[in-house]
Amino acid sequence: MRKTLRISMTAVALAFGITAYAQAPMHQMDHMQHMQHMAAASNDTRQLVSFPPEMRQHTLANMRDHLEALSEILSNMSAGRYAKAAQVANVRLGMDSPSAEGCKGEDTPSKPQISKPASMDHQMTQFMPESMRNIGLSMHQAASDFAVEADKAGRSGNPKPALAALSKVTQQCAACHASYKVQ
């Protein structure tokens, strides 16, 4: 019995070792590709956007919140909670979200402000290049569009149009990060 147990344990250990060895070249290749990408990134051609220090921190916090919101949206979509995914998109990423204010120019319709000081998000419009604001505005609009599709998915049970709309949100994120960096 002990001999059989020892042989079985050896076989399992050997199987794990072979599996790890077989996967190592793929991991090494992924690592090499990542390192090549990072070397190419050292020739960073993205446009530098200079914000005052407090606004820079606020902007970076907004972007981290956008990423967390996308994670929540994906979790809700994968669990079939389409209405909750729509709510997260509207509140944290959509056109009515506070962070959308940083992308709205003076000509973009927004809720009327009754003599209150401009928010940090609204002040960002003074520092962002117009093309960066346009990408951001497209992302916020895409998030609102996604929310509509996610609500429809809740009624129809078909999440494919909502997922297609969600990909337009992330495409805008990728476009902005590929074009700009903040200082």
Note the residue count of the chain: 183
Dist. CA 105–CA 172, nearest whole Å: 18
In the numeric block, the tokens 């962002």 are attached to 128
Q: How far is CA 99 from CA 42, 44, 70, 133, in A?
A: 30, 26, 14, 11
The phi and psi torsions of 112 (rounded to 5 degrees) equal -60, 135
Tokens read off for 173: 């994120």
User: What is the mean predicted confidence (pLDDT) over 161-172?
Assistant: 98
Q: pLDDT, tens digit, for every residue of 32-74?
A: 676 666 666 578 999 999 999 999 999 999 999 999 999 999 9
Q: Name the pLDDT band for 162 (thresholds 50, 70, 90).
A: very high
Q: What is the pLDDT of residue 20?
A: 52
Question: What's the token pair of residue 2?
Answer: 């002990």
pTM for this model (two decimals): 0.72
Distance CA 76, CA 136 (A): 23
At residue 90, the pLDDT reads 96
Distance (Å, rounded) from C-alpha 75 to C-alpha 89? 12
pLDDT in tens, 63-114: 999 999 999 999 999 999 999 999 999 999 999 999 888 788 655 444 444 4
Domains and CATH numbers, the chain: 47-106+119-182 (1.20.120)
Please, which residues have CB within 8 angstroms of residue 101's CB and are 6 or more apart in sequence?
A: 110, 119, 121, 122, 124, 125
How far is residue 130 from each of residues 36, 45, 67, 168, measured CA to CA in Å?
Answer: 32, 18, 23, 20
Burial category of 12 from C-beta neighbours within 10 Å (exposed 0-12, middle 13-18, buried 19 and up):
exposed
